[in-house]
Amino acid sequence: MILKNNTLARPFVKWVGGKTQLLSEIEALLPHFLYSSKNITYVESFVGGGAVLFWILQQFPNIHHAIINDINLDLINTYKTIKENPKELISILKQIEKEYIYKSEIDRKEYFLLQRELFNSKQEDIILNSALFIFLNKTCFNGLYRVNNAGKFNVPYGKYKKPTICDEENILKCHELLKKVEILQGDFSQTLNYAGKNTFYYLDPPYKPINKTSSFTAYSKENFTDKDQIRLSEFCDNISKKGGYFILSNSDVNTIDKKDSFFDDLYSMYHIHRVMASRMINSNASKRGKIYEIMINNSETKIRLDYGK
Ligand SMILES: C[S@@+](CC[C@H](N)C(=O)[O-])C[C@H]1O[C@@H](n2cnc3c(N)ncnc32)[C@H](O)[C@@H]1O
């Protein structure tokens, strides 16, 4: 059963492709050993905002060790700051919140641009950078993270009336959960070392674009290409060979174009489930809506999730 409760830890940033809406579908595909084994290692190789991470750690206290990874350095440094220096982070965020909240709209925008410049100047101080990262995430347009070719964050100001910049309670809850989490930055391939019998991976890569205009894959300077999707399918084969379990999410390109069997071919050895999800990546609100996604796993599951295939 999905625990929905304000007292639980949840993502400390908004993140494109966040999985809060798909937790029930993910839960239905979890491997059985999560419910019975005492000694579980959980790996999330594309952690993003961590919707699945924070949920699963609270749902399964028998996960004794967890490893998270993402290619986004600023995001990963913020996880590290929350794990190691939550109080200092909270104090800077409170200060920023005080400075921001009582300003007029025009002054807020100016303040936002100044903090964005400071963030892009890459201060040595990781705690300050983490605070700026959270501030920009809460006040920029749609909570996007986008960088230009020079790696500079360039999302515009977001015009929110009352953004929560410092959620002290949630940061402290995330801190508690991150105590048992090893935090890595880099390509997903470096997380293969952890695969073994009692290991479960949740893999949520940047999605393969369903058409040329709908995609959002620019979480970093490097795009996630079809070659990377193929590398990821080989990574899944290796997890399986080592006796580990995985669930992987991606876009369902086949529902849009029946001739496109990219994922059906890559993952023909596994179970492919088709699910519907709400997505917020289109900047035009009227074009946001339900899209099809696929979820692939390598273990028997309690429920089949396929919709009309
Ligand atoms: C769809 S998002 C994950 C969303 C996450 N499940 C959540 O709930 O917020 C994909 C993530 O993959 C990361 N990423 C992109 N390329 C990567 C790579 N080669 N290796 C590891 N992470 C990568 C991005 O920075 C982004 O955070």
Structural domains in the chain? Answer: 20-71+187-297 (3.40.50.150), 78-169 (1.10.1020.10)
Residue 307 has pLDDT above 70, yes or no: no
Give the residue carrying structure tokens 């206290």. Answer: 61
Query: Ligand 1: which of 43, 46, 208, 249 to mutate, judged by most atoms within 8 Å of the beta carbon?
Result: 46
Structure confidence at residue 290 (pLDDT): 67
143 lines ligand 1 (CB under 6 A): no
The top-scoring range by mean pLDDT among 176-185, 271-280, 294-303 is: 176-185
| Neighbour-count burial for 152-186, b at 16+ CB within 10 Å, e otherwise | ebebebbeeeebebbbeebbebbbebbeebebbbe
Residue 259 Cα to ligand 1 middle (Å) = 27
pLDDT in tens, 189-210: 999 999 999 999 999 999 998 8
Atom of ligand 1 nearest to the CA of 189: 20
Tell me 242's DSSP state: T
CA 155 – CA 157 distance, rounded (Å): 7
Query: Ligand 1: which of 70, 153, 226 to mutate, judged by most atoms within 8 Å of the beta carbon?
Result: 70
17 lines ligand 1 (CB under 6 A): yes
Residue 147 Cα to ligand 1 middle (Å) = 14
pLDDT in tens, 213-272: 555 555 566 689 999 999 999 999 999 999 999 999 999 998 888 889 999 999 999 999
- How sure is the predictor about 308, in pLDDT bands with cuts at 50, 70 and 90? very low
pLDDT in tens, 164-181: 999 999 999 999 999 999
pTM of the model: 0.91
Stated length of the chain: 309
User: Which of 6, 8, 24, 42 lies closest to 302, judged by CA?
Assistant: 24
Structure confidence at residue 303 (pLDDT): 47
- Of the chain, the percentage scoring pLDDT greater than 90 comes to 74
Residue 124 Cα to ligand 1 middle (Å) = 24
pLDDT in tens, 50-87: 999 999 999 999 999 999 999 999 999 999 999 999 99
